[in-house]
Amino acid sequence: MKLAFSTLGVPGMPLPDVLRLAGTHGYHGVELRAHPEEPVHPGIGITERADVAAEFKAAGVAVLGIAGYARVAEPGDDEPVLDEIRGLLALARDLGAPFVRVFPGGGTGQSEEEADVTAARRLGTAAEYAADVGVRLLLETHDSHRTGAAAARVLGAVGHRQAGALWDVMHTWLGGEQITDSYAALSPFLGYVQVKDIASAENTTPLPLGAGVLPLAECVELLTRKGWDGWLCWEYEKRWYEEAAPLPELLGPGRELLARLLTESA
């Protein structure tokens, strides 16, 4: 498996510093948080995009994915959501990223069935755009659809190879789903896996990998046993938790832990 980390852990950090961290600590790729407060987002121009792609290529680091914030199950008109996704897909295409992350984001006042239908309809349409640019849309296990079973309901209804799943291990765990059940639901759709660690279900402040309660070893062992050979991305949510330790000093030990888990699982 290949290892990456998300820029959510180093909010606002200049790209050269991000790439230096990736190279220094042996990460193969970086997931770019696509938000206007970050250096890379859909609002940057063609020249800037070409420069970003060249910097990644020179560093020998992959752009794993573009982590967008479009919410496909959100109530309301489809077109603003689809416009947002088109912008994310164009950015991914220009940077050579294989994946774009979207959220479910089902709102209050919807039934589960209504949220599923809305999400499937939008993903089905957006998957056609994704196919045109050679990028895969990934629905993250999050908020209204935090379990693998919930995400799979939507993706099964979409039935398009360019619409897949991003497995956030924390959210499926918080949803009460066992690792084996999450994998069984998501494996037909799986794009990549986000790993992290937290103290408890009540305290989701990010911790160094291995210092909390999430079943990381079980997850890596299962993926290895099933022959899955994709990406593991460490999403350290420093942006939302100012009190969390800085990510740069944790990247080395985190990579060592993941590498050890992979070796022990082989």
Determine the pLDDT at residue 140: 98
Q: Which domains does the chain have, with CATH numbers?
A: 2-265 (3.20.20.150)
Determine the pLDDT at residue 18: 98
CB 103 within 8 A of CB 140: yes
Determine the pLDDT at residue 237: 96
* Structure confidence by residue, pLDDT tens digits, 154-192: 999 999 999 999 999 999 999 999 999 999 999 999 999
CB 99 within 8 A of CB 68: no
Determine the pLDDT at residue 108: 76
Sequence-distant (6+) residues with CB within 8 A of 53 are 63, 94, 95, 96
Q: What does the buried/exposed string (b/e) look like for 164-185 if buried means 16 or more CB atoms within 10 Å of the residue's CB? A: bbbbbbbbbbbbebebeebbbb
Determine the pLDDT at residue 53: 98
Residues lower than pLDDT 50 in the chain: none
Determine the pLDDT at residue 107: 78
pTM, full prediction: 0.97
* Structure confidence by residue, pLDDT tens digits, 49-74: 999 999 999 999 999 999 999 999 99
